[in-house]
């Protein structure tokens, strides 16, 4: 499986492009944490805390469908958007090539 490109929209509006492996079973959250992005991931990827909340600003339609558990967690956030997802619930795959995400965190910042 080839690597994919993930675009991260930084707080200052700039965009960082990173190459991501699709053959290691990583979630987007694990990949972002591994690249030193500030994601708390308090629950460790169980969709229980929403501290890995991202807004998908490009490529949302290429993602797997949201689960009821993920939606229930997102629905508790004050800064939810129509393209919000929990990055812990998104396994890196070829379908995600060139998606663009903005890290939203826990909504408290």
Fill in the DSSP letter of residue 52.
Answer: T
**CA 29 to CA 44: how far, in whole Å?**
9
106 against 46, higher pLDDT:
46
What CATH number did the domain enclosing 55 receive? 3.10.20.30
Q: Model confidence over 66-102: pLDDT tens digits?
A: 999 999 999 999 999 999 999 999 999 999 999 999 9
DSSP line for 72-109: HHHTT-TT--TTEEEGGG-B--GGGTTEEEEEEETS--
Domain extent, residue 87, equals 4-105
Q: Model confidence over 23-66: pLDDT tens digits?
A: 999 999 999 999 999 898 899 999 999 999 999 999 999 999 99
Number of folded domains that form the chain: 1
């Amino acid at each position: 499986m080839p690597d994919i490109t993930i675009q991260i929209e930084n707080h200052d509006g700039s965009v960082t492009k990173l190459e991501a492996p699709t053959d290691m079973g990583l979630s987007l959250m694990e990949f972002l944490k591994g690249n030193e992005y500030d994601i708390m991931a308090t629950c460790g990827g169980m969709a229980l805390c929403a501290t890995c909340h991202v807004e998908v600003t490009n490529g949302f339609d290429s993602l797997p469908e949201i689960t009821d558990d993920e939606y229930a967690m997102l629905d508790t956030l004050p800064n939810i958007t129509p393209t919000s997802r929990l990055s812990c619930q998104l396994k890196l795959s070829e379908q995600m090539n060139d998606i663009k995400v903005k890290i939203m965190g826990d909504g408290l910042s």
